[in-house]
Structure 1
Amino acid sequence: MAEGAVTIIGCGPGSAAYVTGAARAAAADADVLIGSPRLLDLFPRGPARRVESRGDVEAVLREIDAAPSARVVVLVSGDVGLSSLAGPLLRRLDRGRCRLVAGVSSVQVAFARLGLEWSGARIVSAHGRPAGEPEQALAGCSSAAILCGTREAVEWAARAAASLEGTHAAFLCQDLTLPTERIDRLTAAELASAAEKASSLSIVVLAPNQQLTITNEQP
């Protein structure tokens, strides 16, 4: 990694087992490692200075500006191209000094756990901002993945599930790849009731009605 370079790493859905070799190699080459405590804990301690950040774009940019010649690595959850801090950072930084390292997304894991293809899925982020009316956001989709993380987001997903309940099944996927992983097939009403206690690492999958066997077992 060249001096002054900024590398943004996708760290996967949660488990250290899902952090790629490319991500580990890039992190090991850093002078400054920026990320949430959960993401920093995925990497062994080394000579790099560690900076805790909880998704504050301005704080991350200040750290980058304070070390203009350092090799800076920014850790983001999931994949860099999906509802990620990478987007806002790239809009503010010189792209010539930036490199992205792809990661495994929770969407990939959720569909894999359910044994479903996701190439045609509609991906909607209901986390942190209004996602519009479910009927409009999901119009014409064959399947959908709704990125949650808050009670309001899961409630929005429950409204989406209600709008498709005649044709689609809803799955609440929590803490994917972690020891506390849980996947439940729920009605729209059950999903709404689960919103209050849903994990902050939640995704709701809406898939065409079919018989699926959910074991909640990780490979």
Structure 2
Amino acid sequence: MLEVLDEYGKVPLPPYIQHAAEKSDESRYQTVYAKYPGAVAAPTAGLHFTDELLQQIRDKGCEEVFVTLHVGAGTFQPVRVENLSEHIMHSEWYSISPEAAEKINKAKAEGRRVVCVGTTSLRTVEASASQNPEGKVRAESADTRLFIKPGYEFKVCDAMVTNFHLPKSTLVMLVSALCGRDEILAAYKHAVDEKYRFFSYGDACFLEKKVNQ
């Protein structure tokens, strides 16, 4: 089946990209560290990272950890309710290896920052930690419907790299939960004023968790 899909299938570009998938999208819409098939969309914050950049990050003493989340089509769905408690969050499958869980928990115990690349990585580690009374990441494979919105208490993530997201989306709510709604609105206004590029093939930003959050 996978061989047939590879031969005849097209890259599943997001619905807001108007042009049909081109040959170049097979490499452009894929991270250099992608390993396991299953997602219906790329974790687009990772598109900014090249092998050379990853090596530069390692050379600066940063430790990298890889986790897996299969992005679902629901990631593109807007929130259509006024009361967020009525929103039905889409389910996504994630997997964290024993080595990854150990490294993440060790970093937190030592007071080092955990920087997530993309909302997918953030949702993965927070989904795992939210199921643990101690707030630690566990080695596991599971489905999650975790809806991260303002008021959420972060257990793992201290900062993140992410693109600029669609309005009225759960992803905008996620970054607002991390940094504060007013801060995100100000950042997005700056991005619009300066003509930054939004969405999957767009620019990235570095966001830090709001102090005392």
TM value normalised by structure 1: 0.30
Structure with a larger share of its residues in strand: 1
